[in-house]
């Protein structure tokens, strides 16, 4: 354990030092005071901002390009956005009344027919959205849209607040084929994958003319470089700053930090196609070697709390107690009981005459991820398990086959309800179930949750599903960390949100 903490401390010190070094080459400064351009640096940047593609809708909304019919407030309660209201006509029918003054970025009015076409395109394009929503048909008349579902859908408004539901003009043509024509305050003029994007204000934006004329998004593949870019004024604000550097900005009057408690967690997703991971006792031993408290405190420097389950315990539907415990001696005992023993005295365990060696994935979506994996690698070595680390791009994780576990960062309840998470990440063959976890009892309860309308029963079903996941050691949810935007003091109107996808708005400004 002492070796583990020493490695963690050294790694964090190196990360902080790397982030503070000025780059040998920098771009032109983002702009002097009074500039009409704001540049924001991100450590994530998708191939496009089509809301129906994968999870790209998060960026459609983040960059102020697209908006949804409903949105989540600071308490993760659903409120109208592009819509005026939603009414349940029957158990299988929802009527949505749209705002009358909304236009798309090409000047076209947002009508019921336009919204119908956008949602039909969504469920045709996105398997995840189609599975979540269960839409049978959509009709439109004037400024109303009627959605009929195949089964009872108690959270339609929440799902219409999910970023994949951002409304786009399906017949409109954007300046970039990587972006849609949305209703947001900014429209894409140039989009370069693996580099960044340029956007300009939509002056006829329905909720008020944007305060900044131009917006630039700059992508940083190396999270340690983003801090240097902020210091050198290459960018005006950043998202994805290493937590080892956050305190430096908190004590500097030249910068501002917008930080909120969120439901984004760091976790290990186990790969059930790996024969060692498929062994219940081996998997439990892996979970038992993870010190959630130390990981959360050391990696995130006071900006994270250890997790019990996939949702913060403040949610009514969250698991309140876990079977997880950090116990190295117990992990050793579990491995011994399962027949994993060092029979040749080389310090590593064997099973059936074969040395046990596992592969761990690592990527830099968060700079803290590789540090966590390296620390776990050391813990595994101390109990006699050889582990190698394979660095991959986050987009390649789903196609990897041989690994034991991968780190993953997820907001499990961005729409204030657990169903979409269970349906995609936990249910057998779910669209985001990258580790191939499967439990028939959990599947049955997820199906019950899909149509349950009573809030108390929904909360109870959610807890029961989490208890099954927990006892299966299907995932190790390490901790929840705050989401933070760090910016130059001249920037205002840029705020973090618990959903982690409401960033840019028409209120963004720069002195």
Give 377-409 pLDDT, tens digit per residue. 999 999 999 999 999 988 889 899 999 999 999
Tell me which CATH homologous superfamily contains domain 262-482.
Dipeptide-binding Protein; Domain 3 (3.10.105.10)
pLDDT of 7: 55
User: What residues contact residue 162 under an 8 Å CB cut-off, 6+ apart?
Assistant: 57, 68, 129, 132, 414, 415, 420
**pLDDT range class, residue 366, cuts 50, 70, 90:** confident
Give 204-251 pLDDT, tens digit per residue. 999 999 999 999 999 998 888 999 999 999 999 999 999 988 989 999
Report the distance separating Cα 38 and Cα 42, nearest Å: 13
Say how far residue 390 (Cα) sits from the centre of its chain: 22
pTM of the model: 0.91
Give 301-348 pLDDT, tens digit per residue. 888 999 999 999 999 999 999 999 999 999 999 999 999 999 999 999
**What's the whole-number mean pLDDT along residues 148-158?**
98
* Backbone CA torsion sign across 224, 227, 232, 233: positive
* Structure token digits, residue 98: 């749209």
Using alpha carbons, select from 393, 391, 390 the residue that is nearest to residue 359: 390
DSSP state of 278: T
**pLDDT range class, residue 8, cuts 50, 70, 90:** low
pLDDT of 364: 79
Q: What is the CATH number of domain 186-260+483-510?
A: 3.40.190.10
Give 270-300 pLDDT, tens digit per residue. 999 999 999 999 999 999 999 999 999 998 8
Q: What is the mean pLDDT of the chain?
A: 93
Using alpha carbons, select from 477, 466, 476 the residue that is nearest to residue 422: 466
**What's the whole-number mean pLDDT along residues 352-358?**
96
Whether 28 shows a pLDDT value over 50: the answer reads no
* Structure token digits, residue 482: 């705050």
- Specify the pairing of strand 491-492 against strand 509-510: antiparallel
Whether 136 shows a pLDDT value over 90: the answer reads yes
**What's the whole-number mean pLDDT along residues 434-458?**
98
Report the distance separating Cα 416 and Cα 420, nearest Å: 10
- Tell me the fold of 66-165: D-Maltodextrin-Binding Protein; domain 2 (3.40.190)
CA geometry: angle at 374 spanning 426 and 333, to 5°?
70
pLDDT of 224: 82
Task: Give start-end residues of each CATH 3.10.105.10 domain in the chain.
Answer: 262-482
Report the distance separating Cα 270 and Cα 287, nearest Å: 10
Task: Give start-end residues of each CATH 3.40.190.10 domain in the chain.
Answer: 66-165, 186-260+483-510
pLDDT of 9: 56
Give 407-445 pLDDT, tens digit per residue. 999 999 999 999 999 999 999 999 999 999 999 999 999
* Backbone CA torsion sign across 51, 53, 58, 64: negative
**What's the whole-number mean pLDDT along residues 10-35?**
46
């Amino acid at each position: 354990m002492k070796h583990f903490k020493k490695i963690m401390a050294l790694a964090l010190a190196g990360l902080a030092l790397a982030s503070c070094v000025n780059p040998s080459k920098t771009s032109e400064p983002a702009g002097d005071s009074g500039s009409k351009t704001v540049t924001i640096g991100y450590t994530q940047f998708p191939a496009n901002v089509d809301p129906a593609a994968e999870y790209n809708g998060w960026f459609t909304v983040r960059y102020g390009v697209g908006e949804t019919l409903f949105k989540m407030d600071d308490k993760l309660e659903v409120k109208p956005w592009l819509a005026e209201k939603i009414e349940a006509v029957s158990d299988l029918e929802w009527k949505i009344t749209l705002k009358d003054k909304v236009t798309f970025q090409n000047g076209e009015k947002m009508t019921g027919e336009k919204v119908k076409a956008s949602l039909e395109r969504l469920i045709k394009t996105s398997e995840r959205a189609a599975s979540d929503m269960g839409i049978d048909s959509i009709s439109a008349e004037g400024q109303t849209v009627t959605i009929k579902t195949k089964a009872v859908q108690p959270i339609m408004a929440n799902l219409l607040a999910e970023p994949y539901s951002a409304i786009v003009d399906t017949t409109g043509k954007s300046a970039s084929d990587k972006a849609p024509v949305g209703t947001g305050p900014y429209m894409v003029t140039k989009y370069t994958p693996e580099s960044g994007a340029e956007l300009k204000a939509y002056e006829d934006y329905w909720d008020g003319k944007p305060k900044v004329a131009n917006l630039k998004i700059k992508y940083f593949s190396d999270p340690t470089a983003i801090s240097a870019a902020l210091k050198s004024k290459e960018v005006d604000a950043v998202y994805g700053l290493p937590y080892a550097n956050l305190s430096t900005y908190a004590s500097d009057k030249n910068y501002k930090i917008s930080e909120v408690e969120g439901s984004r967690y760091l976790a290990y997703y186990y790969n059930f196609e790996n024969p060692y991971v498929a062994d219940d006792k081996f998997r439990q031993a892996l979970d038992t070697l993870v010190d959630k408290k130390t990981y959360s405190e050391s990696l995130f420097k006071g900006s994270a709390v250890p997790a019990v389950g996939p949702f913060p315990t403040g949610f009514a539907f969250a698991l309140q107690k876990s079977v997880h415990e950090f116990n190295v001696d117990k992990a050793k005992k579990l491995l011994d009981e399962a027949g994993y023993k060092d029979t040749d005295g080389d310090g590593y365990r064997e099973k059936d005459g074969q040395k046990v060696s596992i592969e761990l994935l690592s990527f830099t979506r968060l700079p803290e991820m590789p540090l966590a994996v390296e620390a776990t690698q050391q813990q595994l070595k101390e109990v006699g398990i050889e582990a190698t680390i394979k660095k991959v791009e986050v987009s390649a994780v789903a196609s990897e086959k041989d690994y034991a576990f991968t780190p993953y960062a997820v907001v499990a309840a961005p729409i204030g309800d657990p169903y979409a998470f269970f349906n995609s990440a936990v249910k057998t063959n779910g669209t985001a179930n990258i580790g191939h976890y499967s439990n028939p009892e959990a599947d049955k309860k997820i199906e019950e949750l899909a149509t349950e309308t009573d809030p108390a029963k929904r909360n109870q079903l959610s807890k029961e599903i989490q208890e099954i996941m927990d006892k299966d050691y299907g995932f190790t949810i390490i901790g929840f960390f705050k989401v933070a935007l760090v910016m130059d003091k001249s920037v205002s109107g840029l705020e973090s949100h618990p959903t982690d996808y409401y960033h840019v708005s028409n209120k963004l400004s720069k002195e």
